[in-house]
Amino acid sequence: MALIGTVGFCLVFYMAGLIGILDALEDVFPRFYAHITTRELRPEIPEAVFTILVLLCLRWLAPLDAIDAWIADAALFGTLLYLSTRLHERALYIALLTLTGIINWTLWGTHPGSLVPLVILMVVNSFADWFNDHTWDFILMTLVVSAVTWGTATWVNAWDLVEATIVGVIVTVTMIASHWYGRLVVSRQQQGKRLRYSSNHDELTGIRSLHLFRRDYRTYQRLMRSNPDAHLTLVMIDLDHFKQINDTYGHLTGNEVLITFARDIEAYLVAMPYFCGVYRTGGEEFSVFLYELTDAEAKEAIDAYIKRLRDLVVMRSYPEKRITLSVGMSRVHGYDEPLKQAIARTDAKLYEAKHGGRNRVAQQTGGQTAMAD
């Protein structure tokens, strides 16, 4: 009874904690990393690093006494089986299995038969999406994998058959319960992601929203604080005569124009080798951040896009129609300049471009204004 109670209690809370921490790492850490560096990080990376640390801890726990060894072996198997249906990067999972064999051999030993569970776990990982989508198949898979793994481990390590059977049953039941718990956590996580996406992205065009525009400005301020020589340029864009497009062709066509333009300029900026971002900050108004570019380089980047725009079909029903832009540009005055102040200066340049005949760029450079068609 002591074996059942101790292993069962420890394994249930271990798996609950493991699932919770892995989901937190997948959900929070990449966003934190992107917030600090403005770069993306695959969520599998922090998950793999954390798992390696866990495996090292289990390796330390195993030799303490008999029950601790059972707990370590059960937790090790639970970790690998759960990750087999979670890690979609197969090469990363194989590397994790290899590392497990190096740092912890208490479950399978060095007997050639110990390769059998490893092969089965790799197969499970290859069909992870199938098992995750089919509950009864997952249950059957868990039963088969547990039976094969614990049977092999009992044979290789000459474990007591009764104790091995007890622990194997505990592990199997716990893994099935963990599967349900994991699905619940993932479902809530996905709901949170959808809420964050809707608050950070414009509903119509799908590009970044005004909310994210303000938040990203603070990120760029931190980057400028650590690199005082870096430049940040704010660009404000207005689609010329957009009200006329709505009045002439209808609001659905107007929406098509906004969507096409927004996705095209975002695709253009994504390909650039510098930090940048495009945001919808009003009806037909968009804003762009260009980081680490001089005034001349920022102007050249916008001019290049305006030339590209001459060939962009924005209305499928009227493919011959083109749009033009009025653009205001100005450099942010240091990492401590308030966003409202930067917007006011750039908006003044946009006003000059619009009242100077539209279809042009007005840029403030070193306290001076440059106007170009």
Residue 371 lies in a domain: no
Q: Which tens digit of pLDDT belongs to each residue from 63-107?
A: 555 556 777 778 888 888 888 888 888 888 888 878 777 765 555
Residue 325 and residue 354 in one domain:
yes
Residue 58 and residue 181 in one domain:
yes
> Residue 197 — pLDDT band, cuts 50, 70, 90?
low
Residue 222 and residue 193 in one domain:
no
Residue 291 lies in a domain: yes
Q: What is the mean pLDDT of residues 153-165?
A: 78
Residue 271: count of CB within 10 angstroms of its CB: 6
Residue 178 and residue 288 in one domain:
no
Q: Which tens digit of pLDDT belongs to each residue from 254-265?
A: 999 999 999 999
Is 47 annotated in the active site? no
Q: What is the mean pLDDT of residues 149-159?
A: 77
Please say which residue of 198, 230, 248 terminates a domain. 198
φ and ψ of 142, to 5 deg: -65, -40
> Which pLDDT score is estimated for 34?
72
Task: Among 156-170, 201-215, 342-356, name the most confident range.
Answer: 342-356
* 3-class secondary structure per residue, the chain: CHHHHHHHHHHHHHHHHHHHHHHHHHHHHHHHHHHHHCCCCCCHHHHHHHHHHHHHHHHHHCCCCHHHHHHHHHHHHHHHHHHHCCCCCHHHHHHHHHHHHHHCCCCCCCCHHHHHHHHHHHHHHHCHHHHHHCHHHHHHHHHHHHHHHHHHHHHHHCCCHHHHHHHHHHHHHHHHHHHHHHHHHHHHHHHHHHHHHHHHECCCCCCECHHHHHHHHHHHHHHHHHCCCCCEEEEEEEECCHHHHHHHHCHHHHHHHHHHHHHHHHHHHHCCCCCEEEEECCCCEEEEEEECCCHHHHHHHHHHHHHHHCCCCCCCCCCCCCCCEEEEEEECCCCCCCHHHHHHHHHHHHHHHHHCCCCEEEEEECCEEEEEC
> Which pLDDT score is estimated for 196?
65
Asked whether the predicted pLDDT for residue 268 surpasses 70, the reply is: yes
Pick the more confident residue, 35 or 96.
96
Instruction: Please identify which of the residues 44, 47, 266, 284 carries the catalytic annotation.
Output: 284
Nearest alpha-carbon partner for 149 in 114, 174, 123: 114
| Tally of structural domains, the chain | 2
pTM of the model: 0.56
Nearest alpha-carbon partner for 210 in 257, 271, 280, 267: 280
> Which pLDDT score is estimated for 65?
57
Residue 368 lies in a domain: no
How crowded is the C-beta side of 264, counted as CA atoms within 13 Å? 17
Average pLDDT over the chain, rounded to an integer: 83
Residue 373 lies in a domain: no
Q: What is the mean pLDDT of residues 6-27?
A: 81
> Which pLDDT score is estimated for 184?
76
Task: Among 161-165, 169-173, 210-214, name the most confident range.
Answer: 210-214
Q: Which tens digit of pLDDT belongs to each residue from 205-248?
A: 989 999 899 999 999 999 899 888 889 999 999 999 999 999 99
Asked whether the predicted pLDDT for residue 2 surpasses 70, the reply is: no
CATH number at residue 245: 3.30.70.270
Residue 75 and residue 138 in one domain:
yes
Identify the domain containing residue 103 by its residue range. Answer: 1-198
Residue 242 and residue 138 in one domain:
no
> Which pLDDT score is estimated for 52?
83
> Which pLDDT score is estimated for 171?
81
> Which pLDDT score is estimated for 101?
72
